Chains A and B, each alone.
Chain A
């Protein structure tokens, strides 16, 4: 029986092939993992955006409630002691008719 002798070139080629296959597989697994991680991050950020948008809406509504004319008048009259000006105490800006 003749024992087959491996050439260094063949060994190098095989090793390179093995490395390429392993590399490709590793890259594929890394790529998949990163994609999933990114997907999770994007999902999390989208949830955060939605939460913030809802918070903005809630704050806008709160602002509208705080600007309730009845509330503003009550504060102006009772807390700040403001009163309505008389008709002759109001100065109206003259409108520029040339515009």
Chain B
């Protein structure tokens, strides 16, 4: 028989067991709730704590010149960032940032920005973006707490400022770009990839899982020839310095294909430091239009000859040196005699040009101007091209606009548009679309047939009887090339002064546009200098630049002279006692 004491213990044991069992059941139920029903949520929470989805930046495509020389390429780089570290004093933070300043060349402003963000407990601050791997290795060696690294790529332009306005450039953050970098961004940039990085506490990675591999950007082959570009930039820089010009432009093109071989615009900038100084941003070859002056007479000549309104033997009296049309007085730079039609253009007489241009109606002349595509973008594959400006024929002043436009005023054109117009003569009357990208489906104007602007007969007659003589004996004599026949037209346009509401007699835009050799043109070129100081006539300041560039380029392209070189008199000294 159990004693009272034994019975009580048994009872208490049962109660305790029941309580413990109940507690175990509660714990088990809670575990089931957390681990079974809350499994998905718990797993996500754990993964969120130790994994990170990271974007993999694709390698941007290279930009190559027509012979495969690298003009732009991307290389691996590292971005450095910083985060606050627990229990670190402001003095420690300053010491750390100063150490980074020494290695990364940070400015005082950048240092104070970083320190300010650390003080505000900002969890992420870029110290410097896209530094080289060597610089990154130096920072890593310091083993600074809270300093982290992020892989990236950085754009490099090995030839620095060469073809700067064609390449454009790319800012470090890649949100600001121009040139072909902007125009062909879709081709060059590739597609981003992504990966999941698993990290242990403290941020060290222990596993990486690539979800989507990045697709690298495609390479872009330009029509630019780096060597020709170099000749052009060298000669243009020399001319701009010699004449203290405000800006200068040279474009060299293959007139048959429309391929731009070189395009230089000064002032320029080092593409590695894009965007560079503000006054250098503009690609004046395509983004700036100006009143072309006498180079526009190539359009006027086409308009009258295509309609047979003037014969090559016809004479024009230019002896007065000026002509009054409506309220407008148009003058010649020098007083001329009675000139034949070719002589009017060879000597670039404004009076003579107005006399034969008046044989056209406004509608006829406007049609020719539009056929040359003035007032319309050329369609070159560079961003922000200017379309130039020509008023609609209905808005022309019935008396003064035609003669004024005939000599290249009241019309604005980009240097590229003037060159495209001269190419019409080089191609026997065809208008070819200019382009800077050579290969691939993305190349502009692929398979596009050139449009006929004037007949082959008109083009050839004007070249052989007028524009070749402009270089041989006319205003562009300084552009004459030994061994080659060149054709072209000079321009010296007075600049419009908004302050005085009149044309300046001190500021000019000088230009020369031409092509060489005449028989089978290999290159066409325009040279424009704005506000040249030492001499201002196009034939005086721009034609020699054409000559110097053309000589080097023709030799580089191995184009043999088409006529005998002028004989040179060789003199030789002879020392005493020497026999001949």
Q: Are A90 and B75 in contact (CB under 8 A)?
A: no
Q: What bracket does the count of chain A residues touching chain B fall in?
A: 10 to 19
Q: Are B230 and A61 in contact (CB under 8 A)?
A: no
Q: Are B70 and A64 in contact (CB under 8 A)?
A: yes
**Residues on the A chain within 8 Å of B9, using CB:** none
Q: Are B75 and A57 in contact (CB under 8 A)?
A: yes
Point out which of B70, B551, B565 has the most chain A C-beta atoms below 10 A from its C-beta: B70
B560 CB contact (under 8 Å) in A65, A73, A92: A92
**Is A88 close to B, CB under 8 A?**
yes
**Is B226 close to A, CB under 8 A?**
yes
Q: Which residue of B lies closest to A92 (CB)?
A: B560
Q: Give min CB distance, B215 to chain A, whole Å.
A: 16
Q: How many residues of chain B have a CB within 8 Å of chain A?
A: 24
Q: Are A64 and B159 in contact (CB under 8 A)?
A: yes
- Known contacts: A61-B158, A65-B158, A69-B226. The answer to whether A54 contacts B69 by CB under 8 A is no
**Residues on the A chain within 8 Å of B482, using CB:** 87
Q: Which residue of A lies closest to B551 (CB)?
A: A87
**Residues on the A chain within 8 Å of B70, using CB:** 60-61, 64
Q: Are B75 and A54 in contact (CB under 8 A)?
A: yes
Q: Are A58 and B158 in contact (CB under 8 A)?
A: no
- Known contacts: A57-B73, A57-B75, A60-B73. The answer to whether A87 contacts B159 by CB under 8 A is no
Q: Give min CB distance, B63 to chain A, whole Å.
A: 11
Given the complex of chains A and B, what is the CA–CA distance between A60 and B70 in angstroms?
8
* Binary CB contact string for chain A from 77 to 98 against chain B (1 if under 8 A, 0 otherwise): 0000000001110101100000
- Known contacts: A90-B555, A92-B558. The answer to whether A61 contacts B156 by CB under 8 A is yes
Given the complex of chains A and B, what is the CA–CA distance between A93 and B560 in angstroms?
8
Given the complex of chains A and B, what is the CA–CA distance between A87 and B558 in angstroms?
12
**Is A16 close to B, CB under 8 A?**
no
**Is B227 close to A, CB under 8 A?**
yes
A88 CB contact (under 8 Å) in B75, B162, B558, B565: B565
* Binary CB contact string for chain A from 58 to 80 against chain B (1 if under 8 A, 0 otherwise): 10111011011110010000000
**Is B146 close to A, CB under 8 A?**
no
Q: Which residue of B lies closest to A65 (CB)?
A: B158
Q: Give min CB distance, A40 to chain B, whole Å.
A: 13
**Residues on the B chain within 8 Å of A90, using CB:** 555
**Residues on the B chain within 8 Å of A54, using CB:** 75-76
**Residues on the A chain within 8 Å of B143, using CB:** none
Between-chain CB contacts (< 8 Å), 7 pairs: A57-B75, A58-B75, A61-B70, A70-B230, A92-B558, A92-B561, A93-B558
Mark A residues whose CB is within 8 Å of B.
Answer: 54, 57-58, 60-62, 64-65, 67-70, 73, 86-88, 90, 92-93
Sample of 18 further A-B pairs with CB below 8 A, known A65-B158, A87-B551: A54-B75, A57-B73, A60-B70, A61-B75, A62-B158, A64-B71, A64-B158, A64-B159, A65-B159, A68-B158, A68-B159, A68-B160, A69-B162, A69-B230, A70-B162, A87-B483, A92-B560, A93-B558
Give the 7 A-B residue pairs with the shortest CB-CB distance, closest first: A69-B230, A92-B560, A65-B158, A64-B158, A64-B70, A88-B565, A61-B158
